Structure 1
């Protein structure tokens, strides 16, 4: 009988585990995917914006000072320089002053040998005595002739002598009178001649005609002065070196900006780190033509209290013709920028800041605000302004529908005549229609303004009316140019008025604010 096999140990029956839900994993995956997609989209937008912004070079509108100056050079000189000469000829016996000596008016500075003139005076005195002796002889002869004529006239009346004898006596009397007059004239002549010699004797002493400083001395003791043909210059005296002047040669293109009273800054090579001040005293009308270049002399007065400035120094001067403090300004490169062909369509549309439709319509409220209008005046102004904008909108609608109109339907941009602030001239001085705005066009525009705002203008008092007329005249004649403000990565046109320019910066006003990014060039590469 076989033994029974042991039975295998029994395994516990497994219990059923609960099944996990797949949704948390799916949600996590979805969240990660969304985060990656968002990051990618953000990076793409940021990269696109950076590329769009990097396509243009910009400069900010900023506040600052603009100083317009004209540069020129000239030589320093004393205001009054006197050439001291000699009116007589002779040998110089003494020279009493030297270079840089200070002299006073009437001071003896040189002497000429007086011996010749002293001898002439002695000779003249003797001739006067001789003439007086001749006068006495003539007086005695006249007395005798008068007595003889008197006697013979009485005898002729009694027919005791012939009439011819009386006539001869009368002729002798008249001759005696003539001789007496001749003797008197001879005396006066000799006295005058002697007086002339005495004057020449006084002129042997050379005196300083003014108070000043001796600049040059061209005579030495023992030198002979010959004044027969022209007066020789012995000394040159600067009257007052504490007051000096500079004569600048200003080009004809700039002379219209120079006025008396304008400030002048200048330097000299002797003091390169020191700036001196002067003032325009006179703009002379005597033009100078040098190789077909026309210049005008401008006299600048200079104070020289410490005597640092010397006559003949070369002054490098700048005439300050205009100065604008704390104004909005932009780099001149922004005035020369023009959008490329691919950006022209986008640049032609006016943005929310006014775009190409900006200009007078946006400037007028500022003018009205400065007038401090009352309620009635303000209502009249608002009505006239609204009517003007409606007319401008209707007028610009027709060019917008035609192929020849400006981009975006804007009105032609007005550019004033003359040199553009960008310094380039040419296209900077022309409007979109290709021609510069003439004076007749400005006059017509001014007449239209007077008509459109006539009712409003009639409500103004005299002071307000004068200021309104002046501001409107300035607005009409002002130069207006387009700037391109960077908005959303695209250049947006903005019309501004331009003012003073110093060659690097130009004053602007209109629909721009401090900090605005203005396009000055394209950053794109390629042909």
Structure 2
């Protein structure tokens, strides 16, 4: 049986784990190929980018040469001023320091900073005890002297009577002449004593009167009507008035303020007393406070070799919005015009004097008034885009703008400089939207 099994296993072909050897006949299996669709949508962003670049290049570089090479401003109507500018500070026209004329402890302070007071209003009190004691002593001393005077006058009457008696005795030769002489001398001495006591009484009366005045100084009254702006002294503080007068409160009349402007020595010669002036505050740059130049102080203030003169003018302050030591931007008006044609000063050129050639842009660059009433030239961009030079008459001028009296029309474009087309285009657009904007004065 075992032989038979072995034979059967031998006849059975051995199993193999390798892949069977399969031969593929070409053409027997049908291959399926997918057809690709054209992806045309991928070109859409490229086309859009090219179109955008072309549009940008045309709008940026497709302008006329005149508009792409210059910067223009539109001739517009506005207000213009020729003014001397300065900086200054505000102060009260009238202010007084109320101080102590006697020494002593500040017993009471009846006001505070910001309080309004009227003239002769009680604002503070100094302890009067020391002065009251001095007055009591003065009165006692005066009473003593007055009593001595009564005694001396009684002695004087006695001495006078003794002389009369001694003179009668001398006439009857009852006494010697020397006795009468002694009586006369005693009378003279008695009169001198009376005069001395009377002088001491007058002196003591003056001392008493002075102490009474000092007693009155222990009550401090407001010398003017106004507002308390400072109180250096505090209640309970001891004041010493022997060397300097200590200030208790400062009272200022804020109903009218004065502007103290510092003007350079180059500009002060252009100021005249009585000329119009105004100022603006840092917190209210659009609001003007007007007045007239009242005084130009002759003594300047020199700091680091810079000479500055003080020009003063007053302004009313009914609402109390102006306060002490405020900073002010001050303008002293030399000329002004309203609703006139205005162009930037940089658009003007002036022919050189004595020749008809060239121009002098520096004429007027350092002076506000230079160029007024003179002929000048401007470059105007015409409707076709060409640039033409035109003569104009200049009126009021400052460092920023100039008035045009003739030669230009409102809405025309004048050349103010050269630059990129982007700058010129943006400025033109701004001008077309809102007209020429006047630059701030400071």
Pairwise CA distance, 1:183: 1.1
Alpha carbon RMSD of aligned pairs, Å? 3.8
Report the counterpart of residue 296 of structure 2 in structure 1.
284
**Contact map agreement 2:110 2:123 (CA 8 A) in 1:** yes
* Equivalent residue runs for 1:319-358 within 5 Å: 319-327=332-340, 330-336=343-349
Pairwise CA distance, 1:273: 5.8
Pairwise CA distance, 1:508: 5.4
Pairwise CA distance, 1:158: 6.4
Q: 1:172 to 1:420 in 2, by over 3 A?
A: farther
Q: 1:500 to 1:129 in 2, by over 3 A?
A: same
**CA distance in 1: counterparts of 2:260 and 2:346, whole angstroms:** 35
**CA distance in 2: counterparts of 1:519 and 1:268, whole angstroms:** 34
Larger radius of gyration: 2
**CA distance in 2: counterparts of 1:334 and 1:198, whole angstroms:** 78
Report the counterpart of residue 377 of structure 2 in structure 1.
483
**CA distance in 2: counterparts of 1:89 and 1:153, whole angstroms:** 60
**Contact map agreement 2:374 2:395 (CA 8 A) in 1:** no
Kindly indicate whether residue 397 of structure 2 is the aligned counterpart of residue 501 of structure 1: yes
Alignment TM-score, normalising by the size of structure 1: 0.57
**Contact map agreement 1:337 1:519 (CA 8 A) in 2:** no
Report the counterpart of residue 112 of structure 1 in structure 2.
126
**Contact map agreement 2:345 2:398 (CA 8 A) in 1:** no
* Equivalent residue runs for 1:49-448 within 5 Å: 64-156=78-170, 162-239=176-253, 241-258=254-271, 259-269=273-283, 272=284, 274-285=286-297, 286-327=299-340, 330-336=343-349, 406=355, 420-423=363-366
**CA distance in 2: counterparts of 1:487 and 1:213, whole angstroms:** 61
**Contact map agreement 1:337 1:520 (CA 8 A) in 2:** no
Pairwise CA distance, 1:505: 2.4
Pairwise CA distance, 1:56: 8.0
**How many aligned positions are there?**
348
Q: 1:222 to 1:275 in 2, by over 3 A?
A: same
**Contact map agreement 2:350 2:376 (CA 8 A) in 1:** no
**CA distance in 1: counterparts of 2:223 and 2:257, whole angstroms:** 19
**Contact map agreement 2:72 2:416 (CA 8 A) in 1:** yes
Pairwise CA distance, 1:92: 2.0
Higher percent of residues as helix: 1
**CA distance in 2: counterparts of 1:53 and 1:85, whole angstroms:** 72
What are the superposed Cα offsets for residues 234-263 of structure 1, whole Å, 9 maximum, x if unpaired?
Answer: 111223x23222211111222233342413
**CA distance in 1: counterparts of 2:381 and 2:247, whole angstroms:** 75
**CA distance in 2: counterparts of 1:319 and 1:406, whole angstroms:** 36
What are the superposed Cα offsets for residues 460-479 of structure 1, whole Å, 9 maximum, x if unpaired?
Answer: xxxxxxxxxxxxxxxxxx87
**Contact map agreement 1:491 1:519 (CA 8 A) in 2:** no
**Contact map agreement 1:483 1:518 (CA 8 A) in 2:** no
Pairwise CA distance, 1:231: 0.9
Structure 1 gaps, min length 5: 1-49, 340-355, 357-404, 430-477
**CA distance in 1: counterparts of 2:208 and 2:307, whole angstroms:** 55
- Name the SS of the counterpart of 2:287 in structure 1: strand
Structure 2 gaps, min length 5: 1-63, 420-442
- Name the SS of the counterpart of 1:84 in structure 2: strand
* Structure with the larger RCO, 1 or 2 (CA within 8 Å, 6+ apart): 2
Alignment TM-score, normalising by the size of structure 2: 0.66
- Name the SS of the counterpart of 2:241 in structure 1: coil
Pairwise CA distance, 1:303: 2.4
**Contact map agreement 1:86 1:206 (CA 8 A) in 2:** yes
**CA distance in 2: counterparts of 1:287 and 1:498, whole angstroms:** 35
Q: 1:53 to 1:278 in 2, by over 3 A?
A: closer
**Contact map agreement 1:335 1:481 (CA 8 A) in 2:** no
Q: 1:62 to 1:235 in 2, by over 3 A?
A: closer
Higher percent of residues as strand: 2
**CA distance in 2: counterparts of 1:55 and 1:338, whole angstroms:** 23
What are the superposed Cα offsets for residues 386-418 of structure 1, whole Å, 9 maximum, x if unpaired?
Answer: xxxxxxxxxxxxxxxxxxx8459xxxx9x9xxx
Q: 1:307 to 1:406 in 2, by over 3 A?
A: closer
Q: 1:503 to 1:55 in 2, by over 3 A?
A: same
**CA distance in 2: counterparts of 1:62 and 1:161, whole angstroms:** 125
Q: 1:422 to 1:168 in 2, by over 3 A?
A: same
**CA distance in 2: counterparts of 1:505 and 1:316, whole angstroms:** 19
**CA distance in 2: counterparts of 1:238 and 1:246, whole angstroms:** 15
Q: 1:198 to 1:65 in 2, by over 3 A?
A: same
Report the counterpart of residue 349 of structure 1 in structure 2.
none
**Contact map agreement 1:251 1:295 (CA 8 A) in 2:** yes
